[in-house]
Chains A and B, each alone.
Chain A
Amino acid sequence: MSLWEYANPKKFMALSARVLPWVTGLAATTLLVGLVWGFFFTPDDFRQGSTVKIIYVHVPSAMMAINVWVMMLVASLIWLVRRHHVSALAAKAAAPIGMVMTLIALITGAVWGQPMWGTWWAWDPRLTSFLILFLFYLGYIALWQAIEDPDTAADLTSVLCLVGSVFALLSRYAVLFWNQGLHQGASLSLDREEHVADVFAWPLWVSMAGFGLLFLALVLLRTRTEIRARRLRALEARERMQ
C-alpha cells in the first residue's frame, strides 16, 4: 500500500474518520497533563520567578508556529509537483492553526518579556522574524479567500508558502545567525549547558507533544471540512448545469 493512496479524498475521509477520535482524545489528555504539570507542580526559577511557567505555552506554540509552516511547505510542494488536491486543502486547513500558534507565541513572549527585559517588544532578530511569519500567515489566508478558482488559489498560495519558508527558518535559527538581541537560545537542546533543568524540561516535552497532537487533530478536522466544501461546490455546479 502506498502513502499516495491517501491523496484520494475518499480514502483520506475514511482513514481520518477512524483516526480523529483517538488523536483528539490523546491531544486533550497530553495537553491537560502538560499544562497542569507545568502550572501547578513545577517550582519557580531562581532568576525569573513564577514567569518561568509561561514557558509551557510560549515554547510549544512557537515550535508549532514554525512546524505548521514546514508542514504547509511540504503539502504545497506535493500540490505543485503531483497535483493532489488533498495536499493543497491540508495546507489551506493548517494555515489558521499556524496563525493562532504564532499569535500565542508573540503575545505570551511580550507578556513574559515585559518583566524580564523591561519591554514588551524589541526589534530583535527572532521577534521580528516571528512577526513577519505572522504577516505571512495572514497573507496566505487572505490569498486563498481572494481567488475564486481553487486550483489557481492553490498554485499562488503554494508559491507564497515557498517564499514564506525563508522566514519560518529564520524564526527558528535567527538567534544563531545574529549574536545580538534580547531573546535567548533554544530552551531544549542536546547541549546540556543550554538545556533548561529537567524539572522544567519534562512537563515542557509533554506540553509540546500536546500542542503537536492538537495540531494534528485540528488539521484532520479542518481538512475534512475543506474536502466537503470542495465536493459541495462540485455538486452545486453539476446541479446548475442540469
Chain B
Amino acid sequence: MPDLGKYAFEVLSAYAVSLLLLGGLIWISLRQSARMRRRLEEQERRMNRNG
C-alpha cells in the first residue's frame, strides 16, 4: 500500500466510489442479461411445444 499521507481519505474514497459504481453497473448488466436470456428461451420452448 503506498503512503497516501494526509490525502489518504480522499484518494481511497474516490477509488472506492468508482469501483463500487462500476461493479454495480457490471452486476446489473450481467443479471439483466441472464434473466432476459432465460425468459426468451422459456418463451421459445413454450411456443415450439404449442406449435
Contact = CB atoms under 8 A, between A and B. Distances in A.
Interface in B23-47: 24-26, 28-30, 32-33, 36-37, 39-40, 43-44, 46-47
A54 B43 contact: no
Interface in A76-120: 96-97, 100, 103-104, 107-108, 111-112, 114-115
Dominant secondary structure at the B interface = helix
Interface of B: 1-8, 10-11, 13-15, 17-18, 21-22, 24-26, 28-30, 32-33, 36-37, 39-40, 43-44, 46-47
Contact of B2 (A39, A100, A222): A39
Contact of A112 (B10, B26, B32, B40): B10
Contact of B25 (A49, A58, A97, A228): A97
Ranked 8 nearest A-B pairs via Cβ: A57-B18, A50-B4, A108-B14, A54-B14, A228-B36, A111-B14, A225-B33, A51-B7
B33 A50 contact: no
A104 B22 contact: yes
Given A39-B2, A39-B15, A104-B22, A228 B37 contact: yes
Contacts of B28: 96
Contacts of B18: 57, 61, 104, 107-108
Interface of A: 35, 39-40, 44, 49-51, 53-54, 57-58, 61, 96-97, 100, 103-104, 107-108, 111-112, 114-115, 214, 218, 221-222, 224-225, 228-229, 231-232, 235-236, 238-239
A100 B43 contact: no
A225 B29 contact: yes
Nearest to A229: B36
A10 B40 CA distance: 15
A112 B14 contact: yes
A221 B11 contact: no
A114 B10 contact: yes
B29 A221 contact: yes
Contacts of A236: 43
B5 A50 contact: yes
B1 to A, nearest CB: 8
Nearest to B18: A57
A235 B47 contact: yes
Contacts of A229: 36
A235 B1 CA distance: 54
Contacts of A44: 5
Given A104-B18, A108-B17, A225 B10 contact: no
Given A104-B18, A104-B22, A239-B47, A54 B33 contact: no
